[in-house]
Amino acid sequence: MPNADVSLYPVLCQHAEQLLAQRQAETDTGGGIDAQVHAAIVAGLRQGSARLATVAAALAVTPRTLQRKLADAGTSFQALLDQARYGLARDYLRAPDLSLVDIAFLLGYQEQSAFNHAFRTWAGTNPGAWRLQEMQERQLDRQQAP
C-alpha cells in the first residue's frame, strides 16, 4: 500500500495475536460456539422460543453462519437443541409439581406425545417411568442417609 503506516504494523500484529489468544482461551474454557449456542438455547426455551433464527440473532450472526460454525465444531443446532431439552427435561421431571404436559410446553413441544417420543429416544424410557425411578432412587438415598 502506498500510504501504509509502517509503524502501525507491530501494534496491529500484537492486537491480532491478543484476539486470537483470547478466542483460543474461550474455546478451551467452554466458551466455544457449541457452549454459547447451548446457553442461548436454554435461555430461549425459558423465554418460549429456541429457534435457529432467534439463537443466531442473540449471538449476532446469521443463521447460515451459525450452522457453518456449528458444523466446524462437529455438531448441529438440532443436536444442541436436543441436548438442552434433555437436560432441562430431567431437571423438570425431578419437580413433582410439574405435569408432563407442562414440561412438554416448557421444552417447546406442541404436544406431550412429541415430548414423550423424544424423551424415549434420549433416555430409553418414557418420562413418567423415568420420573418414578428417579423418585424411588431419591427416596432410597434418604433412607440410607444417617
Distance of CA 21 to the CA centre of its chain: 24
- Its pTM stands at 0.74
Domain 32-144: give its CATH architecture.
Orthogonal Bundle (1.10)
Helix (H, G, I), strand (E, B) or coil at 19: helix
CA dist., res. 62 & res. 65, Å (int): 5
Tell me what the pLDDT averaged over the chain comes to: 87
- The answer, yes or no, to whether residue 61 has pLDDT greater than 90, is yes
Q: Grid coordinates representing 24? A: 483460543
pLDDT category of residue 24 using cuts at 50, 70 and 90: low
Phi-psi sector, 49: left (phi>0), alpha (psi -120 to 50), beta: beta
Check: CB of residue 112 under 8 Å from CB of residue 89.
no
